[in-house]
Amino acid sequence: MIFENKNRNTRIVKVGNVLIGGENPITIQSMTNTKTSDVEATVSQILRLEAAGCEIIRVAVPDEESALSIRKIKDRIHIPLVADIHFDHRLALAAMSSGADKIRINPGNMGGREKLSEIVSLARERGVPIRVGVNAGSLEKDLLEKYGHPTPEALAESCLRNAALLEELDFSNIVLSMKSSDVVTTIEAYRIAAEACDYPLHLGVTEAGTLISGVIKSSLGIGTLLYMGIGDTIRVSLTCDPVEEVISGAHILRDLGIRKTGIEIVSCPTCGRCCVGLERLALEVENAIRGMETKNYIKLAIMGCGVNGPGEAREADLGIAGGVGEFLLFKKGQILTKVKEADVLEALMTELKKLI
Ligand code: SF4
């Protein structure tokens, strides 16, 4: 099967108690948008992200106070924490001393080989992996001159060159990312890097935008790469509540058939045949299942009429097909009962809870 990273045998990197790469499941990451020094706000956001299914969390470390807060944050959360650092190697050292499970840096902007070597020594001592994260918005000048603009080749070269700085220091506990806000550039850059090395890859389309445009860009970029068998951990970047990033990441994995867990809703677009308030109902169901925990995979079909409704509803674990002001309720392929439109949400939720 093309999924599950089977076509790329990467090294394995350990981030806290989570393994990235090799045959390990593809993990969902997110990043907080609170001030990391505000421990209360950051912990509260991370706990919400954990509940939504986040498996690795990254926090920005722009100052010493943020680095020192990592220890207090880690005491109260349950997933590995990654410290995101730019320019100042002392922050990388402080973040690791404070308990960061992984750091994300650009080795080329840490102030030279000596400072990078201090980072590498501590990372080695503590078993902390380093993500080499390059971004189209901050590509090195010489590569911009060589390629004219942030092309896929430029991004991949930058990333591999930064990784080489760590390899020169005999460090290979590395994850790579090379993000662009352009979907095709992102896909091509990762494809080049995937062929050139065996490091695990952290996938993402950066600065993807607000909910709709960001989800579309991320689904295309991350989804295409995963379909090609490339990628070991993912982060959907959205300009909104990061909980939406986690939900979107879970959707991508589920819709590609990589991870069959959670509740999938199938609903029809409605047309002139529909005689029930299906759009409102589909949104109500979506809201009602938010945060519902289920280890198994459940498919819910919400259909407007008798044309495609019974077929889809029968194929789902639970489904409804609209009539005139009422629905037929299906469970595991069989008609269970007929329900009035006003009662259908409650009936659906009651049956869903039994399945969970
Ligand atoms: Fe139209 Fe019925 Fe198909 Fe929904 S299931 S789109 S209402 S024909």
Question: pLDDT at position 226, please?
Answer: 96
Structure tokens at 154: 């430029």
Ligand 1 atom with least separation from CA of 308: 5
Ligand 1 atom showing the smallest separation from residue 269 Cα:
6
Tell me what pLDDT residue 30 has.
98
| Span 82-138, pLDDT tens digits | 999 999 999 999 999 999 999 999 988 898 999 999 999 999 999 999 999 999 988
Ligand 1 contact via 304 beta carbon (within 6 Å): yes
Mean pLDDT along residues 50-63? 96
CA 318–ligand 1 middle distance (angstroms):
17
> What tens digit of pLDDT does each residue of 253-310 get?
999 999 888 899 999 999 999 999 999 999 999 999 987 878 789 999 999 999 999 9
Ligand 1 center to 336 CA (angstroms): 21
Report CA(285)–ligand 1 centroid distance (Å): 18
Confidence of residue 7 (pLDDT cuts 50, 70, 90): low
pLDDT classification of 149: cutoffs 50, 70, 90:
very high
Residues present in the chain in total: 356
Distance 302 CA to ligand 1 centre (A): 10
**Please, which residues have CB within 8 angstroms of residue 154's CB and are 6 or more apart in sequence?**
139, 143, 144, 146, 147
Percent of the chain exceeding pLDDT 70 equals 98
Interval between CA 283 and ligand 1 midpoint (Å): 17
Please tell me whether the overall predicted TM-score, pTM, comes out greater than 0.85 for this model.
Answer: yes
CA of residue 328 to ligand 1 center, whole Å: 14
Q: Is 319 in the pocket of ligand 1 (CB under 6 A)?
A: no
Cβ(273) – ligand 1 distance below 6 Å: yes
Ligand 1 centroid – CA 226 distance (Å): 32
Ligand 1 contact via 15 beta carbon (within 6 Å) = no
Topology (CATH level 3) of domain 262-355? Sulfite Reductase Hemoprotein; domain 1 (3.30.413)
Q: Are 12-255 and 262-355 equal in CATH topology?
A: no
pLDDT at 3 over 80: no
Report whether 20 contacts 13 (CB < 8 A): yes
Domain boundaries, the chain: 12-255, 262-355
Mean pLDDT, rounded, of the chain: 94
How many other CB atoms are found less than 10 A from the CB of residue 232? 26
Is ligand 1 within 6 A of the CB of residue 270? yes
List Cβ<8 Å contacts ≥24 apart for 350-353: 351/318, 352/263, 352/289, 352/292, 352/298, 352/300, 352/318
In ligand 1, which atom is closest to the CA atom of 271? 1
Q: Residue 52, SS3? A: helix
For atom 3 of ligand 1, the residue with the nearest CA is: 308
Nearest-CA residue for atom 8 of ligand 1 = 307
Residue 4 has pLDDT above 80, yes or no: no
- Ligand 1: centre distance to CA 98 (Å): 56
- Residues near 177 by beta carbon (within 8 Å), at least 6 away in sequence: 104, 131, 132, 133, 134, 159, 201, 202, 203, 204
Environment class of residue 220 by beta-carbon count within 10 Å: exposed (0-12), middle (13-18) or buried (19+)? middle
Residue of minimum CA distance from atom 2 in ligand 1: 305
Q: Spell out the CATH class of 12-255.
A: alpha beta
Q: How far apart are CA 109 and CA 105, in angstroms?
A: 8
pLDDT at 5: 47
pLDDT digits (tens, 9 = 90+) for 231-258: 999 999 999 999 999 999 999 999 999 9
**For residue 1, what pLDDT is reported?**
40
Q: Which of 266, 267, 271 to mutate to test the pocket of ligand 1 (most atoms within 8 A of CB)?
A: 271
Q: What is the DSSP letter of 201?
A: B
Crossing angle for the helix pair 344-355 and 278-289, to the nearest 10 degrees: 30
